[in-house]
Amino acid sequence: MPDRSLSLAGQVTLVTGGSSGIGQAIALACARSGADVAITYRANRAGADDTINAITALGRRSAARTLDLTSEADIRALAPWMRDTFGHVDTWINNAGADILTGKTATLTPLQRLDLLLTVDLRGTILASWEAVTLMQAQGRGSIINMSWDHVVTGMGGTNPQLFAAVKGGVLAFSKSLARSVAPAVRVNVIAPGWIETSFGEGVDETVRRSVADSTPLKRWGTPDDVAGAAVYLASPAADFLTGQTIMVGGGLVM
């Protein structure tokens, strides 16, 4: 009988944006499931070191590399680095994205925020996916997981939601077309998180926090570990017959 377990033993996983938040949770969950895990980070070296130390403490191999998703050269260097460092990659998770909600980027104009999201989240995901495909087709196997947003299928009012819907909707549509293009050797699936307790979620007004929880069927915000559980599933042999699919991790707010 074929293996249909959730174990990632013997696998190598790449998680972009693995120095904090959802990416860090995914990297650690994959390591706990048995995978060796590579991560990328843009500026948070301390967070990347924390992730690597936690992975190696689990007895798994790990390595980190800086990645600027606005740089085509940085993206093109990822696949050769994975091949040279680990020999191959079984699952490539394009988690890294631009933050337009906190810090200095929150003060950008709507057009500047749109350009940043288009460059980092959409263009960056497309280019990184193409690099993953090249490596995986040479291997004869592999799995790609891209990150969207649950509200792309229903919409949400506001300028930032419009920007996220356009860009993350593009990621979702691209991933479906890519899945058809690269099957059967490579699987491509999508995770679409909803309201998750990241740095943005931790800083919102308590009234908003309660409103989100009250409107969610499961009556709480999600956590990075909730998203990580979906990632481990999609990376595992248990999901070997899934491609072109989207798992919405949002407590049922979007169905």
Q: pTM of the full predicted structure?
A: 0.96
By three-state DSSP, how is residue 120 classified? helix
How does pLDDT run across 174-190, given as a tens digit for each residue? 999 999 999 999 999 99
Q: Is the pLDDT of residue 202 over 80?
A: no
Give the C-alpha separation, 29 to 229, whole Å: 7
Q: Kindly tell me the sign of the dihedral angle through the C-alpha atoms of 169, 119, 225, 213.
A: negative
Using the predicted structure, report yes or no on whether residue 12 has a pLDDT greater than 90.
yes
Token pair of 46 as six digits: 């301390």
Give phi and psi for 141, each to the nearest 5.
Answer: -165, 165
Query: What is the enclosing helix (H) or strand (E) of 130?
Result: helix 124-139
* Rounded average pLDDT over 149-166: 97
How many Cβ atoms sit within 10 Å of the Cβ of residue 55?
26
The letter for the amino acid at 36 is D
Long-range CB contact pairs, 247-250, < 8 A, 24+: 247/189, 247/190, 247/191, 247/192, 248/150, 248/153, 248/192, 248/193, 248/194, 249/150, 249/191, 249/192, 249/193, 249/194, 249/196, 249/222, 250/150, 250/192, 250/193, 250/194, 250/195, 250/216, 250/222
Are the C-beta atoms of residues 243 and 189 closer than 8 Å to each other? yes
Type of residue found at 131:
E
Distance CA 219, CA 151 (A): 17
Task: Kindly state the average pLDDT of the residues 239-251.
Answer: 98
**What average pLDDT does the chain have?**
96
Q: Starting from the edge strand earliest in sequence, which strands make up the sheet with 36-41, in order?
A: 62-66, 36-41, 12-15, 91-94, 142-147, 186-193, 246-249
What domains appear along the chain, each with residue ranges and CATH number? 12-249 (3.40.50.720)
pLDDT of the residue at 4: 79
pLDDT of residue 155: 97
Alpha carbon distance 79, 77 (integer Å): 6
Is the pLDDT at 220 greater than 90, yes or no? yes
Q: Which residue in the block uniquely carries the two structure tokens 């299928």?
A: 153
For the residues 112-140, what does the mean pLDDT come to? 98
Higher model confidence: residue 90 or residue 101?
Answer: 90
How high is the pLDDT of residue 49? Answer: 98
| pLDDT, average across residues 3-18 | 94
Q: CB-based contacts of 227: which residues, under 8 Å, 6+ apart?
A: 22, 25, 26, 191, 193, 196, 249
Tokens of 250: 């949002």
Axis crossing angle, helix 110-117 with helix 159-182, rounded to the nearest 10: 20
- Give 193's pLDDT tier (boundaries 50, 70, 90): very high
Give the model's pLDDT for residue 1. Answer: 64
For the segment 199-217, the average pLDDT, to the nearest whole number, is 88
